[in-house]
Amino acid sequence: MIEENVKAILKELPPGVELVAAAKARTPEEILRAAKAGIRIVGENYVQEALAAFNVVGRRVKWHYIGHLQRNKVKKAIEIFDMIETVDSLGIAEEIDKRCSQQGKIMPVLVEINSGREPQKFGLLPENTEDFVRKISKLKNMKIQGLMTMGPFSGDPENARPYFVETKKLFDRISALDLPDVEMKLLSMGMTNSYNIAIEEGANLIRIGTKIFGPREP
């Protein structure tokens, strides 16, 4: 199943759109099967889970962190991950920068946008994003490469469209500023139920779990 699912999704993706296999709650063996079927990027929400998967799957794929990162997990995280998609505070940005400088790394990051302005969700409010990007672009050991958003969860994927549109506008606005050390090239939006709409609205990185691995156990 996993193999067919991966192949079917990859076949239908337009050129220039990269697939991230969102792997939370999946076993390392399931992730390895996805990798062998053509997955090139694995997204993980938990550092502990990622470590277990990494030990089996290794560097045959790129690893993206897509969960909410806590300061005390940063040191471990930067040993595994090739990108952190969820930078959402100055504190976490500074910690990533500090740990990367200790390990002699430069971490590509995306800034997470709370496009639905939901109080319980993480991410920058759109109106605060430019200022935030200007600030963290000065950190020498990370490189901003774009934006990521979840959008509010809702049954009807059409409801996600306005949030994707808003995030794309923000992405274009920040790109146009042409800030030093900011390379706005990745826009990570869309999950199993919404990725087609996200692609229509400009996503070039999509994060899919259920459609690859099947429903998660409750």
Ligand X SMILES: *Cc1c(COP(=O)(O)O)cnc(C)c1O
Footprint of ligand X (CB under 6 A): 22, 24, 45, 66, 150, 191-192, 207-211
Nearer to ligand X, 100 or 198 (CB): 198
Helix (H) or strand (E) holding 78: helix 74-80
Nearer to ligand X, 139 or 206 (CB): 206
Instruction: Report in angstroms how near the CB of residue 101 gets to ligand X at its nearest.
Output: 27
Nearer to ligand X, 168 or 207 (CB): 207
Residue nearest ligand X (C-beta atom): 209
Instruction: Report in angstroms how near the CB of residue 86 gets to ligand X at its nearest.
Output: 7
CB 179 within 8 A of CB 133: yes
Nearer to ligand X, 12 or 181 (CB): 12
CA distance 72 to 193: 33
Kindly report the backbone phi and psi dihedral angles of residue 110, in degrees, each rounded to the nearest multiple of 5, phi listed first: -115, 150
CA distance 128 to 100: 25
* Long-range contacts of residues 68-77, Cβ cutoff 8 Å, at least 24 apart: 68/122, 69/96, 71/95, 73/47, 74/99, 75/99, 76/47, 76/51, 77/47, 77/50
Helix (H) or strand (E) holding 144: strand 142-149
Nearer to ligand X, 22 or 184 (CB): 22
